[in-house]
Structure 1
Amino acid sequence: MARFTGKHVFVTGGGTGIGLACARRIAEEGGSVTIAGRRESVLQEAAAALGSAADYIVCDVASDASVEAALAELQRRHGRLHLAVNAAGTGTVGSVLNGPVSEFTRVLDTNLTGVYRVMQHEARLMRESGGGSIVNISSIAGTHTHRWMTAYCVAKAGLNMLTRCAADDLGEFRIRVNAVAPGLVPTDLAAGLVANEETVAEYLRRMPLARLGTTDDIANTVAFLLSDDADWVTGMVLPADGGHHLRQGPDLLHQFRAYFPSA
């Protein structure tokens, strides 16, 4: 397949995990890719592995100046932008009672405000290109509570509504905006969860398809939404979670109480 021939994509969080898998899939299908993230060494290694169709730009989505500079550099190098995947994210542990406000705002600044920040610039470039497609990486936590993951859940719930609002705002410019909501996928961000056998078992018993996801599972779904195969699809938050959305969110207090033993 060559669904992305002649298309350029910008991928935040593109040096590892889901973002890197999405970048790889797009390159395999003929697209050119700019991956972005905070760690230059990680980006260098990832871009080299992706091959001649890829380059990288250092970008912190929690910084207005960094995002503005990165997208200006993207335009200077490539002229047009057709596709974007917003996969940069972070997490924390804490409930309403014990989670510091500073951690709550830090997570929102990357996972929600950071997406707004970068999507605004992406959309402006896509408007100049005559249209495009944006996919945001959400989570099962955007629709299902996860005890003591309050900041993360709130950020992803906000991202789901941001996706819908952006789709409504940008449709007149032929820019589609959708989101994918993964369940538990082994990545750097989820490493602490995946390493805990009891936690994995808790997730699996809530999935009709009782296996962990893979980054390629998510990349497949993202590629569909980016492509012309989904040309009449916008404003959707599509679960890719083994059916977890049909049941309940996980109870992870057995693992998280180690962070706040007296709470």
Structure 2
Amino acid sequence: MPRFDGKVGFVTGGGTGIGFACARAIVEGGGRVILAGRREGVLHDAAEKLGPSASFVPCDVQDDASVGRAFSWVTHRFGRLDLAVNAAGTGTVGSVLNGPVGEFVRVVDTNLTGVYRVMQQEARLMAAAGGGSIVNISSIAGTHTHRWMTAYCVSKAALDMLTRCAADDLGEFGIRVNAVAPGLVPTDLASGLLANDETVAEYLRRMPLNRLGTTDDIAAAVAFLLSDEASWITGVTLADDGGHHLRQGPDLLHQFRPLFAAENPSARGDA
């Protein structure tokens, strides 16, 4: 297991799912971790589960002021930052024909601009501490189209490039920046997909290893990239998806099209 003794980590989306699993890996490796997110009750309960090495701070990645307050607290409480995992994310359903512009903006603001907001603050603290490691949570949707998940796919594709640019910008400060791109993993965000048996079967037939991932699968890859064991790796997006990246993105219209059934055929994207 990678060791994080004496290190401080910050995890957005840390109260549940992949973010929580990554925070647990930091604690189990001997580090201290700050869970960040919008729901204080969820963060409190997650920190309690992780024990005295975990704390939490409210942080809405869509809000500059909220992010600023969170990092002021981190600076005051810990005075440094060594590790960061940017796992906060959201999604929506819609094609180029029927997806509301506001939904596109919301998803991109969370999954891309939100990462930029917090990563800038993370990098400033890490540079002052002499270096660090950042891992962004991307997706198989960043490289493979998922029909009617346009906003999500675009946000994750852009996040992969942001990861590469940040790695190039921050290397001189001893800061490494990488990403992990999961396939389908049971999380709150993916619950709608997992509830549909046909959708799960569609994902599985795209995976050579033919099983769903787990949050621990993703956390293990993240922990490696955070650790000194990966000290010469930066600017990489690691596919952690059962081999899904070797094949095609899923066709999920069987699940999504009924959501727009009340609209005319052209609005549904059937034309």
TM-score by length of 2: 0.96
Determine the structure 2 residue equivalent to 1:96: 96
Determine the structure 2 residue equivalent to 1:199: 199
| 1:146-201, Cα deviation, whole Å (9 max, x unpaired) | 00000000000000000000000000000000000000000000000011100000
Give the C-alpha shift of residue 136 in structure 1. Answer: 0.1
Determine the structure 1 residue equivalent to 2:152: 152
How do 1:46-85 residues align onto structure 2 when only pairs under 5 Å count? 46-85=46-85
Q: Structure 2: 5+ residue runs without aligned partners?
A: none
Q: Structure 1: 5+ residue runs without aligned partners?
A: none
How do 1:203-214 residues align onto structure 2 when only pairs under 5 Å count? 203-214=203-214
Determine the structure 2 residue equivalent to 1:45: 45
What is the DSSP-based 3-state SS (H/G/I as helix, E as strand, rest coil) of the residue aligned with 1:66? helix
Instruction: Compare 220-229 and 1-10 and name the one that shifted more.
Output: 1-10
C-alpha distance in 1, partners of 2:250/2:2?
38
Give the C-alpha shift of residue 258 in structure 1. Answer: 2.0
C-alpha distance in 1, partners of 2:259/2:69?
37
Determine the structure 2 residue equivalent to 1:127: 127
Determine the structure 2 residue equivalent to 1:115: 115
| 1:68-127, Cα deviation, whole Å (9 max, x unpaired) | 110110111011100000000000000000000000000000000000010000000000
TM-score by length of 1: 0.99
After superposition, the Cα gap between the structure-2 partners of 1:185 and 1:129, relative to the gap in structure 1 and judged at 3 Å, is same
What is the DSSP-based 3-state SS (H/G/I as helix, E as strand, rest coil) of the residue aligned with 2:258? coil
1:238 maps to amino acid: L
- The Cα RMSD (Å) is 0.6
Determine the structure 1 residue equivalent to 2:13: 13
After superposition, the Cα gap between the structure-2 partners of 1:142 and 1:2, relative to the gap in structure 1 and judged at 3 Å, is closer
- Name segments (4+ residues, structure 1) moved above 4 Å: none
Q: Is the 8 A contact 2:2 2:224 kept in 1?
A: no
C-alpha distance in 1, partners of 2:240/2:173?
28
Give the C-alpha shift of residue 2 in structure 1. Answer: 5.8
What is the DSSP-based 3-state SS (H/G/I as helix, E as strand, rest coil) of the residue aligned with 1:14? coil
Give the C-alpha shift of residue 260 in structure 1. Answer: 1.0
Give the C-alpha shift of residue 65 in structure 1. Answer: 0.4
C-alpha distance in 2, partners of 1:72/1:110?
21
Determine the structure 1 residue equivalent to 2:136: 136
Q: Is the 8 A contact 1:133 1:177 kept in 2?
A: yes
Determine the structure 2 residue equivalent to 1:215: 215
What is the DSSP-based 3-state SS (H/G/I as helix, E as strand, rest coil) of the residue aligned with 2:10? strand
C-alpha distance in 1, partners of 2:224/2:255?
35
1:193 maps to amino acid: L
1:217 maps to amino acid: D
C-alpha distance in 1, partners of 2:157/2:237?
10
Q: Is the 8 A contact 2:2 2:227 kept in 1?
A: no
**Aligned length in residues:** 263
C-alpha distance in 2, partners of 1:134/1:260?
39
Q: Is the 8 A contact 1:2 1:30 kept in 2?
A: no
C-alpha distance in 2, partners of 1:100/1:243?
32
What is the DSSP-based 3-state SS (H/G/I as helix, E as strand, rest coil) of the residue aligned with 1:112? helix
C-alpha distance in 1, partners of 2:2/2:202?
39
C-alpha distance in 1, partners of 2:162/2:29?
28
Q: Is the 8 A contact 2:2 2:223 kept in 1?
A: no
What is the DSSP-based 3-state SS (H/G/I as helix, E as strand, rest coil) of the residue aligned with 1:177? strand
